[in-house]
Chain A
Amino acid sequence: MKHLLSISDLSKSQAITILNTAEELARASDGPMKKLPTLRGRTIVNLFAEDSTRTRISFEAAAKRLSADVINFSAKGSSVSKGESLKDTAQTLQAMGVDAVIIRHSASGAAARLAESQWMSGAVINAGDGTHEHPSQALLDAFTIRRHLAHGGEDLAGLHIAIVGDVLHSRVARSNVLLLSLLGADVVLVAPPTLLPVGVESWPATISYDFDSVIPNVDAIMMLRVQQERMSDLFFPNSREYSRYFGLNSERMSAMAKHAIVMHPGPMNRGLEIAADVADSARSVIVEQVTNGVNVRMAILYVLLAGGPLEVGSN
C-alpha cells in the first residue's frame, strides 16, 4: 500500500490492519507515551484546497504525535489562489522533498490524479475529494463502531447501520458504504430520492425513504450533513420539511435500540439533520469520533510511511 485514495483499493485484511494498529496507537497515546519517534525526519504536507477544520487538525495532530514534520498549505494565501495548477503545486512540493501529501480538494479524483501522475514521488492520502471519497473518515467511523458494538470482534459482521441524509453530496457516505460492507455490516441508506446519487442501486447497500421504519432495526445511525454549499438546485421544499422526515430528534432517538449509537462526521447543522439534544445526548459518540480520528490517522500514516522506501507492502 503506497497511497490511500479510496476504500475500494483496500482489502478486508488491510482495513482490519489499520483498525488494529489504531487500537494499539490509541492505547499508547491514552497512556504515558504521547509522542512517538516513529516518523522522525519525514515531511508531510497538508495540502488543503478546500475548507476543513477537523480533518486538517486531526491529520496534523496525528503526524506530530509520530514526530513527523508537518507543513500546512491551504489554497487561501498560497499560489493556488493565484491560479497555480495542481501539477505545478505538486512539482514544487516534490522539489522540496516531501514524503507524503494529504490532499483535500473540491474536484473528485484530485487525489488519484496526484498519485497516478509522475509529478511527485511521495505517498498521497485522500482527505476528501469533491463528492467522491473520504477514506480516513470512513476508517475512523468503522473504528468507532467496532469499539462500541463489535464486542471484541475484528470486523463488523452482523451489524446494521443506517446512513441518513444528503448521500448525493457526501463523500463520507460513499466511503462508509464501501468500508462498512467490506467489514461485513449491512448498510441502509435513508434519504429523499432527490438526495441519492445516480447509480446508488449498484452500491452494496439497501435504500429506504422511510426513516421511522429503519430506526428500531439498526445498531448505529450515522447522520450526514446537508451540504448546502454544494446545492445549486432545490433538493427539498424547505428545511422544516427535511427535518420532519429525515432529521434525528429526541422522539426518533427514543425509538432506537437500547445499545444503538448516534454518529455524525461533523460539522453539524444543529436543528436541521440532527437536534441539539440528540447531538449532546449520552448515545451520541460524535466527540469520540474526533478523538478516534487522530488515532486512526496515526495508523494510516504508520502503515503508509513507517516501512521502507522499497514497497514490499501488505498487498
Chain B
Amino acid sequence: MSLALPAPDMARAITRISHEILERNSGSESITLLGIPTRGAHLAARIAANIEAIEGRAVQHGTLDITLHRDDLRTRPPRALMPTVIPSLGVEGRNVVLVDDVLFSGRTIRAALDALGEIGRPQTVQLAVLVDRGHRELPIRADYVGKNLPTSQSQVVRVQFTELDGIDLVSIEDGATQ
C-alpha cells in the first residue's frame, strides 16, 4: 500500500476544486452539484460546504444513483440501489457538476450521463473527481481533478472519508484486478 493523498492534501485538493468550479461558472448561482453514491455523494457534500463558506450562500446539491443505468449489471449479482436526491431547482438549464471519487474506465460517468438525460436537459455537464487514475475505456475526461494518479490496471485506488471510514485518505493498494 502506498499513501497517495493524506488528509491535509485531500482537503487542499477539495478546496481547489471548489474554487475552480466557482471560477469556471462565475459564482455558485447556476451550479447544481450531483454526487454519485457512495463516496461521490460525500465528496459533493464537502465541495458544497466549501462553496457555501466561500460564497456565503448555499449551493444546490444532491445525489444521483446510476445503478439502474449501468452497462455491467449482468456481470455481477444485483447491487443495492442508493438514493437519488435531485435538489429543488432540478437540472433543467443548470450547470450540473457530476462528482465522483475516482475516475477510471469512464463507464460510471457514461451511466450518469444517461441517468441525467432522463431527468432533464442541463445547460452544461461538468465532471469533478478527486482522483483520475487513467485507463479510460470511453472518450470521457474530467473538468476538475484533485490528483492525477498513474496506476496499473491491477492496482486498487482506495478513497476513504471520515464520515464513512473514520479517516480522510487516498491510497493505492496492489491487488487483484477490480
Residues of A that sit less than 8 Å from B by CB: 17, 20-21, 24-25, 27-28, 31-33, 35-38, 66, 302-303, 306-309, 311-314
Among B29-84, those with CB < 8 Å from A are 65, 68-69, 73-78, 80-84
> B86 on the interface (CB 8 Å rule)?
yes
In the complex, residue of chain A having the shortest beta-carbon distance to the beta carbon of B81: A24
B76 in contact with A308 (CB, 8 Å): yes
Question: With a CB–CB cut-off of 8 A, which chain A residues contact B118?
Answer: 32-33, 35-36
> B172 on the interface (CB 8 Å rule)?
no
B69 in contact with A31 (CB, 8 Å): no
> B138 on the interface (CB 8 Å rule)?
no
Question: With a CB–CB cut-off of 8 A, which chain A residues contact B120?
Answer: 32
Interface bracket on B: 20 to 34
CB distance from B63 to the nearest CB of A (A): 11
Question: With a CB–CB cut-off of 8 A, which chain A residues contact B83?
Answer: 24, 27
B80 in contact with A21 (CB, 8 Å): yes
In the complex the two chains form, what is the Cα distance from A25 to B83 in whole Å? 9
B77 in contact with A24 (CB, 8 Å): no
A314 in contact with B78 (CB, 8 Å): yes
CB distance from A300 to the nearest CB of B (A): 11
> B173 on the interface (CB 8 Å rule)?
no
Among B61-112, those with CB < 8 Å from A are 65, 68-69, 73-78, 80-84, 86, 90
Contact partner of B65 (CB less than 8 A), chosen from A24, A37, A302, A312, is A24
In the complex the two chains form, what is the Cα distance from A309 to B120 in whole Å? 33
Q: Are A309 and B73 also in contact (CB < 8 A) when A17-B80, A20-B80, A32-B120 are?
A: no
A308 in contact with B84 (CB, 8 Å): no
CB distance from B45 to the nearest CB of A (A): 19
A308, A311, A312, A313: most-surrounded residue (chain B CB, <10 A): A308
B74, B81, B83, B86: most-surrounded residue (chain A CB, <10 A): B81
A37 in contact with B69 (CB, 8 Å): yes
CB distance from A117 to the nearest CB of B (A): 25
Question: With a CB–CB cut-off of 8 A, which chain A residues contact B115?
Answer: 33
CB distance from B73 to the nearest CB of A (A): 5
> B174 on the interface (CB 8 Å rule)?
no
In the complex the two chains form, what is the Cα distance from A242 to B133 in whole Å? 71
Question: With a CB–CB cut-off of 8 A, which chain A residues contact B86?
Answer: 31-32
A308 in contact with B69 (CB, 8 Å): no
Residue contacts A-B, CB under 8 angstroms, 6 given: A31-B84, A31-B86, A32-B86, A32-B90, A306-B73, A307-B77
In the complex, residue of chain B having the shortest beta-carbon distance to the beta carbon of A32: B119
B73 in contact with A307 (CB, 8 Å): yes
Q: Are A20 and B81 also in contact (CB < 8 A) when A33-B115, A33-B119 are?
A: yes
Contact partner of A37 (CB less than 8 A), chosen from B68, B74, B84, B119, is B68
CB distance from B92 to the nearest CB of A (A): 10
In the complex the two chains form, what is the Cα distance from A21 to B76 in whole Å? 17
In the complex the two chains form, what is the Cα distance from A309 to B118 in whole Å? 27
Question: With a CB–CB cut-off of 8 A, which chain B residues contact A37?
Answer: 68-69, 114
Contact partner of A307 (CB less than 8 A), chosen from B76, B82, B90, is B76
Question: With a CB–CB cut-off of 8 A, which chain A residues contact B78?
Answer: 302-303, 306-307, 313-314
Question: With a CB–CB cut-off of 8 A, which chain A residues contact B74?
Answer: 306-309
CB distance from B9 to the nearest CB of A (A): 34
In the complex, residue of chain A having the shortest beta-carbon distance to the beta carbon of B111: A37
Question: With a CB–CB cut-off of 8 A, which chain B residues contact A21?
Answer: 80-81
Question: With a CB–CB cut-off of 8 A, which chain A residues contact B73?
Answer: 38, 306-308
CB distance from B66 to the nearest CB of A (A): 11
In the complex the two chains form, what is the Cα distance from A307 to B86 in whole Å? 26
